[in-house]
Structure 1
Amino acid sequence: MSLQLYTYQEGILAKLRAGFAEGHHAQMLVAPTGAGKTEMAIALLEAAKARGNRAAMVLDRVVLCDQTSGRLQKYGIDHGVIQSGHWRYRPYEPIQICSAQTLEKRGSFPGLKLLIVDEAHQTRAQTIQFIKNNPEVRVVGLSATPFTKGLGKTYSNVVSSVTTGELVRLGRLAPLRVFIAKEIDMEGAKKVAGEWSADVVTERGLKITGDIVAEWVKKTHEVFGGPRKTVVFCSGVAHGADLAQKFGDAGYNFVSLSYRDDDSFKDDAIKEFTKADSSIHGLIATDILTKGFDVPDVMIGVSARPFSKSLSSHIQQMGRVMRAHPGKEFALWLDHSGNYLRFRDEWDDVYENGIHSLDEGREKAKPEPTKAEKEAAKCPKCSHVWPSGTDTCPCCGHVRERRNDITAVPGMLEELAAANAAKAQQREWYAQLLGYAVAHNYARGWAYHKFKEKFGVEPKFRDVMPLEPTAEVGRWIRSRNIKWAKSRQRAA
């Protein structure tokens, strides 16, 4: 089976090559879960080999090394795995797969010309030092969530040309259908370095185990007519064990996995869960399964591990259930953690606009929505999250009534109408800027930055289709281009 890339993947690789030609030593390839980062990495490894160069991909777990090796084997690409006792130890091969720990122990990699770092947002000090000590090696970091502070000190260029929203529209990812369920109460909980402590999260998560199981039973039957493959992200080891027991009491086979379990036990459970006719209804994860877990027919995700600031963990968890699969029209997301509303603005931005720079400071503790805001954000009939810009629930069709508290205030209706008109105009502009970007083969981020230049705010619109620019929009773009050209002339 030969490796075939999508058009957007070819475009990303072309941008990486252009970045190296411009003198960037280390670049970050940013793409959502499901975009095919491993396939793009394999294409880079194969291209390096074709030019007579040595290339390596470094991963932070042995099981991920095995998975990547298996992917290379599927495409018929010869390679070696640098791992103690590994059956594919072939140090003479131009392409090598190795664990981060192995690379750190070696300290050097003679003749290496290209290094690909998987999950590059999880910075390991020794790997960063290796990159700095070997400026002759071209480096590509892979990440869907490059929010770790300090990444910009290692990676000088960001390459990203596809967003989660675009992949959903292309059918490469499944959209989420989100329900807000009974939430773990974190009011007044202790924090360590801005994040809720694991012990407190576990203690409070145990209090609603029964609600989590009952909600899953209810929703899986309402939506699918019966159980479907599920991944539960729990609050801690004790919480996972309690959930597994209560799911079992309800007649369902859920297996709890954590960092404390033997690797062979975890591997066997995941292998069984991967089968189309698996005897396991769900996996319960404690701080695992947020990377290297690829089971596309998972239909349900349960969020039961609250995060105060870790947007990356929230996005990684949702990505586990968004992979496309034949017949999978959507994935169900049951939120008991409060994370979806807590990170909604940031998620909407990443979903539609992607990520174009590092060290953005996204990973900060988020203010908690009020109880009133939480209630207003979900359908009172089915608890589905209200989408922006509509009063009709997309799940059950319920139409919410809005209390009009401003009708008795002179001038307020006119002000509201003007605000709505301004928002509609901004949406039109954004759609036309997208249309211009498509027509000129620009990345979607171009429209994002031009909109921000025009209106001074970020475009936070969902499902905007590109439109042909009007004469007004065209004139504005030309004026910006002329201004930019003149500034370049003055600089020269």
Structure 2
Amino acid sequence: MLLRPRQKLFVERSLRALAEHGNTLGVAPTGAGKTIMLSATVGEQIGSTAAKAAVLAHRDELTTQNRTKFRRVNPGISTSVVDATTKAWDGQVTFAMVPTLARAANLDAMPALDLLVVDEAHHVIADSYRRIIDQALKRNPVCRIYGVTATPNRGDKRGLRAVFSNVADQIRLGELIGSGHLVPPRTFVIDVGVQDELRKVPRAGDDFDMGAVARVMDTVPVTDAVIRHWRERACDRQTVVFCSTVAHAEHFAAAFQQAGVPAVLVTGDMPDAERRAMLAAYASGKAQVVVNVAVLTEGWDHSPTSCVVLLRPSSFKCTMIQMVGRGLRTVDPTEFPRVVKRDCIVLDFGTSSQIHGSLEQDVNLDLQPGTGEAPTKTCSSCEAEVPISVMECPICGHAFEPGGTEVTPLTDFVMTEIDLLRRSSFQWCDLFGDDAALVANGFNGWGGIFFLNGRWHAVGGGKGERTRLLAVGERLVCLAAADDWLNERETDESAHKSKAWLRQPPTDKQLIHLPLATRADLGMTRYQASALLTFQFNRHTIRSLVMAAGGSSLAEAA
């Protein structure tokens, strides 16, 4: 399996920080491939040694998922499991359930570890995690502690300084948007006549007083204005709405329903079964809108969601990004046929955008890894070493000053397109010279993107695998999906982008199977011939998949 270039950089920085500090935290949002990067870091750290490692998770499904992905990244490293039914330490890497391992008898059986990895590392300050970490350091004082998380800033504002002294790397939402792994937001900052009042709302602790926010926002005129603006800009989109209080959410969900829009309500004090039923109604499309109060900020995703409505301000930029992030996932067309998602509309009726500025202000969209050490700065609150672009400390949540730069409202996202064709591990061939069909081959799989009827379609196939539709929509999203398909099936040896034979003339066997028109191309290379043959052999399947996704026909260029 191959890592994306940005994933490789994340792993390199994590290894460097572990070597320097003995501990480090890596921060990566949904879409970054957090488990893949965790697995690659562990493999690089212990793979060529006799060292032992453990990977902690707090749920059964995470333990299973982490172990499965680890094996794909590191097929030569043995693994074992410690959970409610099995307690085996015979693997070089053991995947352990925290509630099980934290029990005294199981901790006593834990061998000396050289590396302890914590998935969802914002949990490390919990007593159960601390017992495991303390035992690991007792058994081996030089055991390295590595944590990864998408949400380092906890809701209770407790920092992670007790375990981590530094942040190795932080992948931003803007980077994933720029690489085609998330869709871009199109944000509208809308004043319905209350922004001056919202700016006067006091704080209650670290965040705004949500009761005071509700007194401003939870009125019939404001609600009617919000629904009117939503109808104008996003009435055909599945939408998640973030409110200030439970009463505010109840009133807003009722207003949607009275306006004839199917809406469901999700709150923190709902019974689990009722909450699951509401989310299931939204996931199935029976409800178009889901209204909530801080319940769906993290840990929930429904990728067809393409509108986010903010009816509350947030004092923390990470909270605003988490809310916006609920609408940025790309859509798998096999899971949601005929859903084409190009962007996400964000309707901000609060003041978060004026407070925090645009999402792209403090991210690096250039994504040029460069060489040397990653620039860092020291947090004045907890003295952690963190990436220089961070605007909130991932260890303690301290907000850095913007350095005198003007903060502008969040408007349409200006995306810098990264040249994935150049940075890919594979050589992508423009099949017919019109930039409408590109194909790349590996030893075990192939990927292609095809432009029809105003949108792109990504298709992937491979040895012993059913050819499938990977993505539909923007070119960059489709290219990223096809490139990831190949990354998952190939290795450094099979990527062969720089191999000399790629530029050699086609073989006689290739020429026999190529159409007459293409044989006349004296400049054709062996790899171009291979890409053309891949398309030719799979043309009918590709055409069927594209037509089923809404395209009318595939050009008969071959």
Normalised by the shorter chain, which TM-score bucket?
A: 0.5 to 0.7
Paired AA for residue 295 in structure 1: H
How far apart in 2 are the matches of 1:34 and 1:154? Answer: 26
Q: Is the 1:116–1:141 Cα contact (8 Å) retained in structure 2? A: yes
How far apart in 1 are the matches of 2:307 and 2:181? Answer: 17
Q: Is the 1:55–1:115 Cα contact (8 Å) retained in structure 2? A: yes
Q: Which residue of 2 aligns with 1:263?
A: 272
Q: Which residue of 1 aligns with 2:11?
A: 13
Q: For each residue in 1:414-451, what CA deviation from the matched residue of structure 2 results, as whole angstroms up to 9, or x when unmatched?
A: xxxxxxxxxxxxxxxxx9xx99xx99xxxxxxxxxxxx
Paired AA for residue 92 in structure 1: A
How far apart in 2 are the matches of 1:317 and 1:35? Answer: 17
Q: Which residue of 1 aligns with 2:484?
A: none
Q: Which residue of 1 aligns with 2:33?
A: 36
Task: Map 1:398-413 onto structure 2 (within 5 A).
Answer: none
Task: Map 1:199-348 onto structure 2 (within 5 A).
Answer: 199-207=211-219, 208-221=222-235, 226=236, 228-275=237-284, 278-308=285-315, 310-325=316-331, 327-344=340-357, 348=361
- Structure 1 residues 123 and 211 mapped into 2: Cα distance closer, same or farther (>3 Å)? farther
- Structure 1 residues 58 and 317 mapped into 2: Cα distance closer, same or farther (>3 Å)? same
- Tell me the CA shift for residue 268 of structure 1: 3.8
Q: Name the SS of the counterpart of 2:361 in structure 1.
A: helix
Within the alignment, does 1:58 sit opposite 2:57 as a pair? Answer: yes
Q: Which residue of 1 aligns with 2:210?
A: 198
Paired AA for residue 385 in structure 1: T
Q: Among residues 190, 201, 218, which one is paired with 1:189 in the alignment?
A: 201
- Tell me the CA shift for residue 360 of structure 1: 6.0
Q: Which residue of 1 aligns with 2:385?
A: none
Q: Which residue of 2 aligns with 1:385?
A: 411
How far apart in 2 are the matches of 1:300 and 1:358? Answer: 36
Q: Which residue of 2 aligns with 1:26?
A: 23
Q: Name the SS of the counterpart of 2:295 in structure 1.
A: coil
Q: Is the 1:343–1:366 Cα contact (8 Å) retained in structure 2? A: no
Within the alignment, does 1:131 sit opposite 2:133 as a pair? Answer: yes
Q: Which residue of 2 aligns with 1:164?
A: 173
Q: For each residue in 1:57-84, what CA deviation from the matched residue of structure 2 results, as whole angstroms up to 9, or x when unmatched?
A: 334xx5xx5356357558878875746x
Within the alignment, does 1:90 sit opposite 2:86 as a pair? Answer: yes
- Tell me the CA shift for residue 96 of structure 1: 3.0
- Structure 1 residues 178 and 289 mapped into 2: Cα distance closer, same or farther (>3 Å)? same
- Structure 1 residues 386 and 366 mapped into 2: Cα distance closer, same or farther (>3 Å)? farther
- Structure 1 residues 75 and 19 mapped into 2: Cα distance closer, same or farther (>3 Å)? closer
- Tell me the CA shift for residue 29 of structure 1: 0.7
How far apart in 2 are the matches of 1:134 and 1:75? Answer: 21
Paired AA for residue 124 in structure 1: I
Q: For each residue in 1:365-399, what CA deviation from the matched residue of structure 2 results, as whole angstroms up to 9, or x when unmatched?
A: 899xxxxx99xx67xxxxx83779xxxxx9xxxxx
How far apart in 1 are the matches of 2:45 and 2:8? Answer: 15
- Tell me the CA shift for residue 128 of structure 1: 4.9
Structure in which a larger fraction of residues adopt helix: 1
Gaps of 5+ in 2: 73-78, 333-339, 368-374, 382-391, 424-558
- Structure 1 residues 204 and 123 mapped into 2: Cα distance closer, same or farther (>3 Å)? farther
How far apart in 2 are the matches of 1:81 and 1:336? Answer: 48
Q: Is the 2:243–2:311 Cα contact (8 Å) retained in structure 1? A: yes
- Structure 1 residues 346 and 279 mapped into 2: Cα distance closer, same or farther (>3 Å)? closer
Q: Which residue of 1 aligns with 2:64?
A: 69
- Tell me the CA shift for residue 249 of structure 1: 1.0
Q: Is the 1:45–1:56 Cα contact (8 Å) retained in structure 2? A: no
Q: For each residue in 1:348-371, what CA deviation from the matched residue of structure 2 results, as whole angstroms up to 9, or x when unmatched?
A: 11465999557466356899xxxx
Q: Name the SS of the counterpart of 2:308 in structure 1.
A: strand
- Structure 1 residues 118 and 73 mapped into 2: Cα distance closer, same or farther (>3 Å)? closer
How far apart in 2 are the matches of 1:336 and 1:279? Answer: 26
- Tell me the CA shift for residue 253 of structure 1: 1.9
Q: Name the SS of the counterpart of 2:341 in structure 1.
A: coil
Q: Which residue of 2 aligns with 1:481?
A: none
Q: Name the SS of the counterpart of 2:186 in structure 1.
A: strand
Q: Is the 2:267–2:295 Cα contact (8 Å) retained in structure 1? A: yes
Q: Is the 1:291–1:316 Cα contact (8 Å) retained in structure 2? A: yes
RMSD between aligned residues: 4.1
How far apart in 2 are the matches of 1:312 and 1:198? Answer: 17
- Structure 1 residues 296 and 23 mapped into 2: Cα distance closer, same or farther (>3 Å)? same
Q: Is the 2:321–2:359 Cα contact (8 Å) retained in structure 1? A: no
- Tell me the CA shift for residue 200 of structure 1: 2.5
How far apart in 2 are the matches of 1:252 and 1:307? Answer: 27
Q: Is the 1:158–1:358 Cα contact (8 Å) retained in structure 2? A: no
- Tell me the CA shift for residue 204 of structure 1: 3.1
Task: Map 1:427-466 onto structure 2 (within 5 A).
Answer: none
Q: Is the 2:17–2:23 Cα contact (8 Å) retained in structure 1? A: no
Q: Name the SS of the counterpart of 2:347 in structure 1.
A: strand
Paired AA for residue 27 in structure 1: T
- Tell me the CA shift for residue 191 of structure 1: 2.2
How far apart in 1 are the matches of 2:325 and 2:227? Answer: 22
Paired AA for residue 186 in structure 2: R
How far apart in 1 are the matches of 2:376 and 2:326? Answer: 23
How far apart in 1 are the matches of 2:144 and 2:206? Answer: 35
Gaps of 5+ in 1: 84-88, 368-372, 379-383, 389-393, 395-430, 440-492
Structure in which a larger fraction of residues adopt strand: 2
How far apart in 2 are the matches of 1:145 and 1:359? Answer: 18
Paired AA for residue 120 in structure 1: A
Paired AA for residue 147 in structure 2: G
How far apart in 2 are the matches of 1:68 and 1:335? Answer: 37
How far apart in 1 are the matches of 2:20 and 2:102? Answer: 26
Percent identity at matched positions? 24
- Tell me the CA shift for residue 300 of structure 1: 0.7
